[in-house]
């Protein structure tokens, strides 16, 4: 191993190149800092390589295949529709490669130094970066930790060739005939939907009362109806107890309804949450304060108790969302530059790429009432929208949560086609302090799904046009 004799100096050192780290590095460089980014694996982190992006590629492929098989009611009959899963994986890999190479180009274009290796803190102003060929010390004025998270492994379900995490599910060589998913959260439902669309018999085992915790029941009910139509069995209040790997599959044992049951499958996918990557960084060397869950404590500028070290993304409190990490990365870089940037999470959206898609931002109606607001929950159905009818995607609704006294929009929920795109307007409305009247008075193109937002605002004002009051 080659050891560097002299420390290399940099202004801002970023550990991790996921959607938090690479965005922080670019923004810091834009603000005039000399920036070094350290990555032990692939540029782009979990999101671009084995998370958000490849999963959406699989979801899209599954949706296209399912549509090809079932578009008879639109007069489209396709015979001998086949699925070449190796080509699906090839498509997914091309998408990933294009984005990761794009991140590399952006970093280099902003003169960010890219260093491959594992980082370990020596003290509050230096780290040691090690790889199989060398070890080098870097000194810095400020550091941003953006090391992300990894799937939680259950003791009763140790990972193997047949017991897989989300990364394994994205890299299967074939579509499973039978797939058991432990955990009905976002990842489990998204991947379960993708594989169900491609022909898998999927069973979801969820320990709580409902899938997709954090989303309103009126939203999850629509998703469960569509899962059932695809032949997906969702078992709630189920306790997964263990898995026995056989020659060419796995037998899952679980308890539900007071009795123990067994399921045979080709694979079992464990999606019960993610653990922060904070345990192998040498944080104790610096005295950085942590929570009991292994998260790093930060203030509103993403600064730790060590004033020149910042932390963002999955390793701090809050939802584990790529766009949250990117947002925090910008805040941290701007705080380092002396700008008065602070986080404000009210208008941060959360999305599930289920069928139909779900999206939420700000308060839901119950949360608003618990926070002491007197609110109106105004809902408009997809089924009354011309574009939704033309798309044959009529399940769902847009719901606005507005303050009764002045119509201020403080939250929104969407269940329906393209919810992931439609929610952006409502996030902007909350961020800009807009009212239902502002949205209702904004002319929306016809026919579009965006009109549903306008119609929901008119419901909030008590003057809907396209549904009976």
State how far the Cα of 382 lies from the Cα of 368, in Å rounded to an integer: 24
Instruction: Please indicate if the annotation marks 44 as binding a ligand.
Output: no
State how far the Cα of 322 lies from the Cα of 305, in Å rounded to an integer: 24
DSSP string, 247-300: SSSEEEEEEETTEEEEEEESEEEE-S-EEES-TTS-HHHHT--B-TTSPBP--T
Instruction: Please indicate if the annotation marks 20 as binding a ligand.
Output: no
Nearest residue to 335 via CA among 308, 314, 313: 308
Instruction: Please indicate if the annotation marks 139 as binding a ligand.
Output: no
- For tokens 């032990």, the residue is 40
Q: Which of 70, 323, 444, 446 is catalytic?
A: 446
Within its chain, how far is the Cα of 382 from the centroid?
Answer: 24
Instruction: Please indicate if the annotation marks 11 as binding a ligand.
Output: no
Residue 71 phi, psi (nearest 5): -120, 25
Instruction: Please indicate if the annotation marks 184 as binding a ligand.
Output: yes
Nearest residue to 44 via CA among 97, 103, 132, 3: 103
Nearest residue to 253 via CA among 172, 169, 154: 154
User: What burial class does residue 307 get, using C-beta atoms within 10 Å of its C-beta: 0-12 exposed, 13-18 middle, 19+ buried?
Assistant: exposed
Instruction: Please indicate if the annotation marks 174 as binding a ligand.
Output: no
Instruction: Please indicate if the annotation marks 192 as binding a ligand.
Output: no
Instruction: Please indicate if the annotation marks 314 as binding a ligand.
Output: yes
State how far the Cα of 363 lies from the Cα of 274, in Å rounded to an integer: 24
SS3 state of residue 61: helix
List for the chain the helix, strand, coil content (%; round to 5): 35, 25, 40
Q: Are 274 and 186 in contact (CB under 8 A)?
A: no
Instruction: Please indicate if the annotation marks 129 as binding a ligand.
Output: no
Instruction: Please indicate if the annotation marks 233 as binding a ligand.
Output: no
Q: Are 313 and 325 in contact (CB under 8 A)?
A: yes
Indicate if 446 belongs to the active site. yes
State how far the Cα of 208 lies from the Cα of 108, in Å rounded to an integer: 46
Instruction: Please indicate if the annotation marks 270 as binding a ligand.
Output: no
Structure tokens at 74: 């639109």
Instruction: Please indicate if the annotation marks 189 as binding a ligand.
Output: yes
State how far the Cα of 179 lies from the Cα of 192, in Å rounded to an integer: 8
- For tokens 């590399």, the residue is 104
User: What burial class does residue 76 get, using C-beta atoms within 10 Å of its C-beta: 0-12 exposed, 13-18 middle, 19+ buried?
Assistant: exposed
Instruction: Please indicate if the annotation marks 433 as binding a ligand.
Output: no
List residues with catalytic annotation: 446
- Binding-site annotation, residues: 56, 147-149, 183-190, 206, 273, 314
- Binding-site annotation, residues for FAD: 56, 147-149, 314
- Binding-site annotation, residues for NAD(+): 183-190, 206, 273
């Amino acid at each position: 191993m080659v050891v560097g004799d002299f420390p290399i100096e940099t202004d801002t050192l970023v550990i991790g190149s996921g959607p938090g780290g690479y965005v922080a590095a670019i923004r810091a460089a834009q603000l005039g800092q000399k920036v070094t980014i350290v990555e032990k694996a692939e540029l782009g982190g979990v999101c671009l390589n084995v998370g958000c992006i490849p999963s959406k590629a699989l979801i899209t492929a599954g949706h296209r295949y399912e549509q090809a098989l079932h578009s008879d009611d639109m007069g489209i009959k396709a015979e001998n529709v086949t699925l070449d899963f190796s080509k699906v994986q090839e498509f997914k890999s091309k998408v990933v490669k294009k984005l990761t190479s794009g991140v590399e180009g952006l970093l280099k274009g902003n003169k960010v130094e890219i260093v491959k290796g594992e980082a370990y803190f020596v003290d509050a102003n230096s780290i040691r970066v090690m790889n199989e060929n060398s070890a080098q010390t870097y000194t810095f004025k400020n550091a941003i930790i953006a090391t992300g998270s990894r799937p939680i492994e259950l003791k009763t379900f140790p990972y193997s060739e047949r017991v897989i995490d989300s990364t394994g599910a994205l890299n299967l060589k074939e579509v499973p005939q039978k797939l058991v998913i432990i955990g009905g959260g976002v990842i489990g439902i998204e991947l379960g939907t993708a594989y169900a669309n491609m022909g898998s018999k999927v069973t979801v085992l969820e320990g709580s009362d409902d899938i997709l915790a954090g989303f309103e029941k009126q939203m999850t009910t629509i998703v469960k109806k569509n899962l059932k139509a695809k032949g997906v069995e969702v078992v709630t209040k189920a306790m997964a107890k263990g898995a026995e790997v056989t020659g060419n599959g796995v037998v899952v044992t679980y308890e539900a309804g007071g009795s123990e049951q067994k399921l045979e499958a080709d694979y079992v996918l464990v999606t019960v949450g993610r653990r922060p990557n904070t345990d192998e960084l040498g944080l104790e060397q610096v005295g950085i304060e942590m929570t009991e869950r292994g998260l790093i404590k930060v203030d509103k500028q993403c600064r730790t108790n060590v004033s020149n070290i910042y932390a963002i993304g999955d390793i701090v409190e809050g939802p584990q969302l790529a766009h949250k990490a990117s947002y925090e990365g910008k805040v941290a870089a701007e705080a380092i530059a002396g700008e008065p940037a602070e986080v404000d999470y009210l208008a941060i959206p959360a999305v599930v790429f289920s069928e139909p898609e779900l999206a939420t931002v700000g308060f839901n109606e119950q949360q608003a009432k618990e926070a002491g607001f007197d609110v109106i929950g105004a809902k408009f159905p997809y089924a009354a929208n011309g574009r939704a009818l033309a798309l044959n995607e009529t399940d769902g609704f847009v719901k606005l949560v507005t303050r009764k006294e002045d119509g201020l929009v403080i939250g929104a929920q969407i269940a329906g086609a393209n919810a992931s795109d439609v929610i952006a307007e409502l996030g902007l409305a909350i961020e800009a302090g807009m009212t239902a009247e502002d949205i209702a008075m904004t002319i929306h193109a016809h026919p579009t799904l965006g009109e549903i937002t306008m119609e929901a605002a008119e419901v909030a004002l008590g003057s809907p046009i396209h549904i009976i009051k």
